[in-house]
């Protein structure tokens, strides 16, 4: 790996003024300060044991899972542990009324019973390289922001293509520190990943929306898969001849449990943070982006719930979709609330005032940084105007109703008609859509989608300015008094995208789609979105340089501050300790929860708090075996001070000797502003205790075969 730029390297070596808990560190760039802090907290591992390209290390047990989560290898034969909510969509695809794995769970008693998952892959990191100089080749002081963006994108494409060559690897070039640095990551991709264990809904999804993003929790948020390879050990598509992976590294499991002050380390793939953003970003999230997302998703979830509660088949079809919508619905509710409560906007304003005082104290600094907020303000003036409509175009428009969203996949075929392509080519293109049609209608309820679409369009029309609205939504709203119910009903009755038989009939003799009401509305929304996007790009060109310089200037001004990079779905390491916390006046939370708390929340027949009979029987007998703590309790969840965010779901919680002690799955309500500002006193990571997941495997799933495969200490 090339040396880091002098600026970044100097910062990595700087003394930390923040507590060790804060920070999503690049594990390949751990320095003496990091290691000293980790060792003082209880880590007994060397940097090479944690992360190395020269020898097997813990890094080799950590994977990107399914394109949005983290997983870890926990056995010599490729067993992979991740969160229940990370694997939910794949379990849902395998489920039916006859085999309701979502409700009842799934437990493979042998490798022969493990279920393949189409479309699921995991990535193992095998190379890291600083490519900043190559990415910025051709960029100089005279380059405009639009030109810079074009040059950078072109260089990144060229670098990725050249490094990949004809190899079966994935190559990504990722910006750091607001585009002041670029790093290349290379991954091996394994595409044969089979389901091994999924606990029943009353364990894996216990507490559902009510408990989401809160502590105390009582959730067994885990699934187990297995990675398979070709017989020679190389990555391969699914085949019956494939064999379980021979793990390069796997995590033993420690049954000792946790107590306050215990060291806890997490390796994973956090998705996105914006800790160094300006006050303008925070203001926009509070007043524009956050409320718009909340309104759209509240409407969507209300209609999901109505249909899911009435029909178990619909529940199975929409369980994963509902969970996906719900997760960040509640996230944004909490984020907006805690940004206000924690006065993040005011803190950013004060920081910017300090920054400008520092800038104005030196002529050279004033020449470089003196005008940066002019562009930043211009950027956010535009975004404050369009952000609400921008969100609605996405959340309530082209990605709102499912039929509208699905119809977009036929844009290329419709374009072929405009280009007067050969009829045989058009028919062949239509026939190629058959797998997508099968997948879509397998998990599609037309009555549900009709209600969702009408409700979202009503909201779109009601909550947006006429000049920032798609022309068709404006027209239909004006003609129908803002009520889209009848229009949507007629559109759904006529469109080919709401009925499989109609669509398949069209595929046999395709014709232009311009008159299909759903497709026409989707195209109008997209056209309107593109107009808004042009303004978005204008805003970026006005303000991105200023924000990049602000990042650079902050790093110069605060030389003693530990400037770890924002999360960007690359591998990171965080370290902290197991700790309770005080949430508010007279509200003090313990650091762990138990099965007693699970039973206390039990509500028979409730989709969030029902518990399977066999689990209740085990709990009533206190049949916890070797997984009970010294007080005879079965610990379910615990909390640590680690710094994580979305994407860290499924990350391992590791003790000072490299053993698995838990599985990270959530953050807490009081620190929901954490993606923009780390909340030192209250920010916590919520984890499944390793003993609870082993108890579920042995006592609930009766999978002694899995227990025997693990290394348990």
Rounded to an integer, the average pLDDT of 9-15 is 35
Position 16 pLDDT exceeds 50 = no
Position 54 pLDDT exceeds 60 = yes
Count CA within 13 A, CB hemisphere, residue 132: 17
pLDDT of residue 30: 84
Helices (H), 5-67: 6-12, 32-41, 47-50
**Count of CB atoms situated within 10 Å of the CB of 221:** 28
CA distance 37 to 639: 20
Position 2 pLDDT exceeds 80 = no
Do the beta carbons of residue 368 and residue 549 sit within 8 Å? yes
pLDDT in tens, 79-91: 999 999 999 999 9
pLDDT of residue 441: 97
Look-up of token digits 């990722």: 174
**Count of CB atoms situated within 10 Å of the CB of 257:** 20
Pick the CATH number of 572-709 from 3.40.50, 2.60.120, 1.10.3470, 2.40.10: 2.40.10
Position 562 pLDDT exceeds 90 = no
Question: Which phi and psi angles does 621 have, rounded to 5°?
Answer: -85, -5
Catalytic residues: 85, 221, 649
Both tokens of 424, joined, read 């045989």
Position 563 pLDDT exceeds 90 = no
Position 478 pLDDT exceeds 90 = yes
pLDDT of residue 21: 85
Do the beta carbons of residue 396 and residue 458 sit within 8 Å? no
pLDDT in tens, 223-280: 999 999 999 999 999 999 999 999 999 999 999 999 999 999 999 999 999 999 999 9
pLDDT of residue 560: 82
CA distance 497 to 444: 11
Domain spans of the chain, in order of start: 6-22+50-251, 279-552, 572-709
pLDDT band at 9 (very low <50, low <70, confident <90, very high): very low
pLDDT in tens, 691-706: 999 999 999 999 999 9
Helix (H) or strand (E) holding 712: none
Which of 7-11, 200-204, 355-359, 522-526 is predicted least confidently?
7-11
- Percent of the chain clearing pLDDT 90 (strictly above): 95
Rounded to an integer, the average pLDDT of 82-107 is 97
pLDDT band at 606 (very low <50, low <70, confident <90, very high): very high
77: which residues sit within 8 A by CB, 6+ positions away?
Answer: 226, 244, 245, 246, 247, 709
């Amino acid at each position: 790996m090339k040396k880091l730029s002098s600026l970044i390297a100097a910062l990595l070596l700087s003394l930390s003024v923040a507590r060790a808990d804060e920070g999503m560190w690049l594990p390949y760039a751990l320095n003496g300060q990091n290691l000293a802090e980790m060792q003082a907290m209880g880590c007994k591992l060397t940097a090479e044991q944690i992360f190395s390209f020269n020898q097997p290390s813990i890094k080799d047990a950590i994977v990107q899972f399914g394109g949005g989560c983290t997983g870890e290898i926990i056995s010599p034969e490729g067993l992979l542990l991740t969160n229940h909510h990370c694997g939910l969509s794949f379990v849902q695809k395998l489920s039916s009324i006859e085999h309701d794995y979502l409700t009842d769970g799934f437990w493979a008693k042998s490798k022969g019973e493990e279920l393949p998952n189409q479309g699921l892959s995991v990535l193992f990191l095998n190379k890291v390289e600083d490519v900043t100089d190559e990415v910025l080749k051709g960029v100089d002081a005279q380059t405009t922001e639009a030109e810079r963006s074009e040059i950078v994108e072109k260089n990144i494409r060229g670098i990725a293509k050249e490094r990949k060559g004809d190899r079966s690897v994935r190559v990504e070039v990722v910006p750091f520190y607001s585009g002041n640095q670029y790093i290349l990551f290379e991954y091996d991709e394994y595409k044969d990943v089979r389901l091994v264990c999924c606990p029943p809904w009353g364990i894996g999804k216990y507490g559902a929306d009510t408990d989401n993003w809160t502590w105390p929790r009582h959730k067994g948020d885990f699934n187990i898969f297995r990675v398979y390879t070709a017989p020679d050990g190389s990555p391969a598509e699914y085949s019956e001849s494939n064999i379980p992976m021979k793990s390069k590294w796997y995590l033993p499991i420690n049954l000792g449990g946790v107590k306050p002050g215990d060291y806890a380390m997490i390796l994973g793939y956090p998705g996105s943070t914006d800790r160094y953003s300006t006050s303008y970003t925070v203001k926009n999230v509070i007043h524009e982006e956050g409320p718009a997302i909340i309104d759209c998703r509240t409407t969507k979830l209300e209609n999901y719930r109505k249909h899911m509660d009435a029909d178990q088949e619909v529940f199975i079809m929409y369980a994963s979709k509902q969970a996906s919508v719900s997760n960040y619905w509640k996230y944004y509710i909490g984020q907006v609330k805690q940004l206000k409560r924690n006065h993040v906007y005011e803190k950013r304003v004060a920081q910017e005032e300090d920054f400008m005082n520092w800038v104005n104290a030196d002529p050279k600094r004033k020449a470089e940084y003196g005008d940066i907020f002019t562009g930043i303000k211009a950027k956010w003036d535009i975004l404050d105007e369009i952000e609400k409509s921008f969100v609605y175009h996405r959340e309530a428009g082209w990605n709102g109703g499912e039929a509208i969203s699905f119809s977009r996949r036929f844009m290329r075929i419709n374009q072929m008609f405009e280009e007067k392509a050969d009829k045989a080519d058009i028919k062949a293109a239509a026939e190629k859509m058959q797998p997508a049609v099968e997948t879509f209608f397998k998990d599609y309820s037309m009555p549900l989608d009709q209600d969702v679409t009408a409700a979202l369009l009503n909201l779109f029309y009601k909550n947006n300015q006429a000049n920032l609205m798609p022309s068709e939504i404006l027209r239909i709203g004006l003609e129908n008094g803002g009520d889209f119910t009848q229009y949507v009903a007629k559109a759904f009755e006529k469109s080919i995208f709401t009925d499989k038989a109609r669509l398949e009939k069209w595929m046999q003799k395709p014709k232009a789609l311009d008159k299909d009401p759903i497709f026409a509305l989707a195209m109008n929304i997209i056209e309107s979105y593109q107009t808004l996007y042009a303004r978005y790009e204008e805003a970026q060109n006005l303000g991105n340089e200023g924000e990049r310089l602000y990042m650079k200037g902050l790093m110069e001004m605060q030389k003693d501050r530990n400037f770890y990079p924002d999360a960007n779905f690359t591998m990171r390491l965080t370290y902290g300790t197991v700790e309770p916390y005080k949430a508010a006046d007279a509200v003090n939370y313990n650091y762990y929860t138990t099965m007693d708390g699970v039973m206390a929340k039990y509500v028979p027949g409730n989709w969030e708090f029902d518990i399977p009979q066999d689990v209740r029987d085990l709990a009533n007998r206190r049949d916890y075996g070797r997984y009970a703590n010294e007080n005879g309790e079965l610990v379910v969840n615990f909390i640590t001070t680690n710094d994580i965010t979305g994407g860290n779901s499924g990350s391992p919680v590791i003790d000072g000797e490299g053993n698995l002690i838990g599985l990270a799955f959530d953050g807490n309500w009081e620190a929901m502003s954490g993606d923009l500002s780390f909340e030192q006193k209250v920010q916590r990571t919520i984890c499944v205790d390793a003993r609870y997941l082993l108890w579920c495997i042995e006592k609930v799933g009766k999978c002694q075969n899995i227990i025997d495969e693990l290394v348990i200490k």
